[in-house]
Structure 1
Amino acid sequence: MIFKITYQETKIRNPKREETKTLYLDAETEIEARHLVEQNTPFNIEFVQPVDGKHLAYEQKNPDFALTEFNK
């Protein structure tokens, strides 16, 4: 399943909506998706959301859409 993860690039500063970034990840569960991001980045995860169907089709239209891959 594809997950949309919104995050801040650092855990040091307070989160600011204007600085929220997004990455997309293919994982079995939301827990696995969160674990992969926590283990491979210094990001402050705000939200993990599964995307499929029409929502996924909409997200894929964004030119910045790309699946992020981490070594498991």
Structure 2
Amino acid sequence: MIFKVYYQPSKKINPRRENTEVLYLEAASEVEARILVENQTPYNIEFIEGLDQAALAYEQQSVNYKLTEFDR
């Protein structure tokens, strides 16, 4: 499943909505997605959203859509 992860670029700065960024990744579950991001980035995760087929099709139309791959 593809997940959309909302995050702040740093854990050291107070979260601000204006700084929220997103990445997309494929994982078996939301827990696995969280573990991958937490172990391989300095990001402060705000929210993880699983994308169904309709939501994924919509997100793929965005110029900012890029599937992130992490070492497992």
- TM-score (normalizing by structure 2): 0.98
Identity %: 54
The size of the alignment, in residue pairs, is: 72
**Per-residue displacement from partner, 1:12-55 (whole Å, max 9, x unpaired)?**
11100000000000000000000000000000000001002111
What runs of 5+ residues in structure 2 fail to find an aligned partner?
none
Q: CA deviation at 1:63?
A: 0.7
Specify the code of the residue in structure 2 equivalent to 1:51.
Answer: L
What runs of 5+ residues in structure 1 fail to find an aligned partner?
none
Structure 1 moving runs of 4+ over 4 Å: none
Which residue of structure 1 aligns with residue 13 of structure 2? 13
Specify the code of the residue in structure 2 equivalent to 1:41.
Answer: T
Specify the code of the residue in structure 2 equivalent to 1:71.
Answer: D
